[in-house]
């Protein structure tokens, strides 16, 4: 959709300036500046994603009524021909970078994540969104390809075997669930000049075990930036428990498995279609094959176990 069509479709905003933030293979994102100097973020999706967008909007409205720190929607979902628009309130901040990953920042993130899970634990949003179960490894077949590099092929096969071996051990655990973010990585957490944080991009949010969301956040924010730093990992767990004390030793024992699974997912995904991603993020830490490979090796070589003194 061209810029003029977008401006005409959003004429009620009186757009002064429309800037492309990102133009991916599934959706587009723009910064809107109005004549009265207000700012909004606009995302455009294909019509087929309407039910999922209704789900996301419902989740964000629930969060905005309960607590701070989560991107807010503005107005209703709009439809134009075969595409749908959603507006978000603008937050004047920048994505976190690896140098921001310090104890104080991780404690803030863990507190916000715990508040999010607690708020959404018994919430039933409108719309619908389905995602892989944490014990579903069908993505391995979905992303499978024969690697020319035998060393990479061996690492992938070793990770597959290790992840698969964990499943029978953990799949019958009674795990507390909530609506989780599923993608808490550096680019999805903004920070402003006052050191305030904001979670954005709830496009993967769905109902699942909270321990999975914790593992993803720690893998993306800690393993991908500092390696297996046990001090930072324990800092994160303690901060989360301080706000929402629901973790058990069984769940702590699952963290290595869930981090390894996430890394295997991201690595095979990027090998499969990473070269097709038309996004500035493809050159950053959030979409980088080399970083995922390094994290995969790190997790295969360091099978850490957290003790119950964190409970």
| pLDDT score recorded for residue 1 | 64
Tell me what pLDDT residue 97 has: 95
3-state secondary structure of 211: helix
List average pLDDT for each run of 10 residues in the chain, which is 311 residues long. 74 87 76 93 94 97 94 93 93 95 97 98 94 84 71 90 89 93 96 96 95 97 94 96 94 94 92 58 65 94 78 74
What distances in angstroms separate CA 174 from CA 171, 177, 208, 217, one per listed residue? 9, 9, 12, 21
Quick one: pLDDT at residue 39? 95
Total count of residues recorded for the chain: 311
Please tell me the pTM assigned to this model: 0.92
Angle among Cα 197, 210, 225 to the nearest 5 degrees reads 50
Determine phi and psi for 76, rounding to 5 degrees: -95, 165
> How far apart are alpha carbons 125 and 60 in whole angstroms?
10
With tokens 């390894």, the residue in question is 260
- What is the DSSP secondary structure assignment for residue 70, as one 8-state letter? B
Q: Yes or no: is domain 94-310 CATH 3.30.70.260? A: no
Q: What pLDDT sits at residue 12?
A: 84
Burial of 298 (0-12, 13-18, 19+ CB in 10 A): middle
Distance, CA of 5 to CA of 11 (rounded, Å)? 10
CATH 3.30.200.20 assigned to domain 3-89? The reply is: yes
Question: Using CA atoms, how far apart are residues 156 and 165, in angstroms rounded to an integer?
Answer: 14
Domain ranges of the chain: 3-89, 94-310
């Amino acid at each position: 959709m061209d810029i003029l069509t977008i401006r005409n479709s959003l004429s009620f905003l009186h757009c002064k300036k429309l800037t492309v933030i990102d133009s991916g293979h599934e959706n587009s994102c723009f910064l809107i500046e109005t004549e009265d100097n207000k700012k909004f973020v606009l995302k455009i999706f294909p019509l087929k994603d309407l039910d999922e967008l209704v789900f996301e909007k419902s989740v964000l409205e629930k969060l905005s009524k309960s607590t701070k720190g989560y991107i807010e929607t503005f107005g209703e979902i709009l439809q134009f021909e075969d595409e749908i628009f959603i507006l978000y309130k603008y937050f004047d901040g920048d994505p976190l970078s690896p140098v921001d990953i310090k104890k104080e920042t991780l404690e803030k993130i863990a507190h916000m994540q715990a508040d999010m899970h607690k708020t959404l634990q018994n919430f039933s949003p409108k719309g619908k969104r389905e995602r892989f179960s944490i014990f579903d490894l069908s993505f391995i077949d979905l992303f499978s390809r024969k690697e020319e590099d035998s060393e990479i092929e061996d690492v992938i096969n070793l990770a597959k075997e290790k992840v698969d071996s964990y499943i029978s051990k953990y799949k019958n655990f009674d795990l507390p669930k909530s609506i989780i973010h599923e993608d808490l990585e550096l680019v999805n957490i903004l920070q402003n000049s006052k050191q305030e944080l904001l979670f954005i991009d709830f496009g993967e949010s769905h109902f699942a075990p909270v321990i999975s969301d914790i593992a993803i956040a720690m893998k993306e924010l800690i393993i991908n930036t500092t390696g297996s730093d046990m001090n930072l990992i324990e800092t994160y767990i303690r901060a989360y428990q301080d706000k929402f004390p629901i973790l058990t030793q069984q769940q702590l024992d699952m963290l290595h498995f869930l981090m390894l699974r996430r890394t295997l997912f991201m690595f095979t995904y990027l090998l499969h279609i990473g070269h097709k991603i038309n996004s500035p993020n493809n050159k950053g830490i959030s979409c980088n094959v080399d970083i995922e490979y390094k994290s995969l090796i790190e997790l295969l070589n360091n099978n850490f176990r957290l003790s119950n003194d964190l409970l």
